[in-house]
Chains A and B, each alone.
Chain A
Amino acid sequence: AQTVTQSQPEMSVQEAETVTLSCTYDTSESNYYLFWYKQPPSRQMILVIRQEAYKQQNATENRFSVNFQKAAKSFSLKISDSQLGDTAMYFCASLSYTGANSKLTFGKGITLSVRP
């Protein structure tokens, strides 16, 4: 079974500053993928960034990057130069590769507020 834990329910950051959102996960699988999804007030779920567990290099997407610590089963999201549009709920998710029966498991999410 997979579990994803996001222990911080909410965070706040000043516009243009950097913020890091924490996530830990647990899986017995050797092959898995990790994701961060953003959910703005519109409720749309938007993929922010994705990391393959077999890759040691941390994924980056423009202002978004991850710190993937495989041994510690930690997968944090860093948002640089925060913008007002980054205000949203952020979900960490894991997907273990067990063939056709894989499931995407989400953490409980963290509410991020960007202050002007």
Chain B
Amino acid sequence: DAGVIQSPRHEVTEMGQEVTLRCKPISGHDYLFWYRQTMMRGLELLIYFNNNVPIDDSGMPEDRFSAKMPNASFSTLKIQPSEPRDSAVYFCASSFYQWYSGNTIYFGEGSWLTVV
């Protein structure tokens, strides 16, 4: 299996620009998660989906952030407009069905975003 695939791996953008991060979960997984990692705040869950439906977006920092999952094999996290404080590593992760029973959550390699 190819694992969770994220793109781009690195992105540098100017403040005010729109940023779109992409994720392809592991085939057959029906939960998808977006996490953000910063030095100050560590790993934070932003949002997660079950069967393409957003279940909990309470971690999304503000209205500039939005996430979609149009089908089982693709999700996007969009930041518009981007700000320097959005600079972080963004992880996508996926899991099987009953992930809350302790099944393993598999992470992608992350998208390293720098906003200048």
A interface with B by C-beta (< 8 Å): 33, 42-47, 50, 52, 91, 95, 97-109
Q: Judge if B107 is at the interface, Cβ distance under 8 Å.
A: yes
Contacts of A42 in B (CB 8 A): 109
B interface with A by C-beta (< 8 Å): 33, 42-43, 45, 48, 50, 55-56, 89, 91, 93, 99-102, 104-105, 107, 109-110, 112
Contacts of A99 in B (CB 8 A): 100
Bound together, the chains give a CA A105 to CA B45 distance in angstroms of 8
- Whether the Cβ atoms of B100 and A100 lie closer than 8 Å is yes
When C-beta atoms are compared, the residue in chain B nearest to A42 turns out to be B109
- Whether the Cβ atoms of B102 and A52 lie closer than 8 Å is yes
- Whether the Cβ atoms of B50 and A47 lie closer than 8 Å is no
| A50/B104 contact (C-beta < 8 A), A44-B109, A100-B55 known | yes
When C-beta atoms are compared, the residue in chain B nearest to A97 turns out to be B100
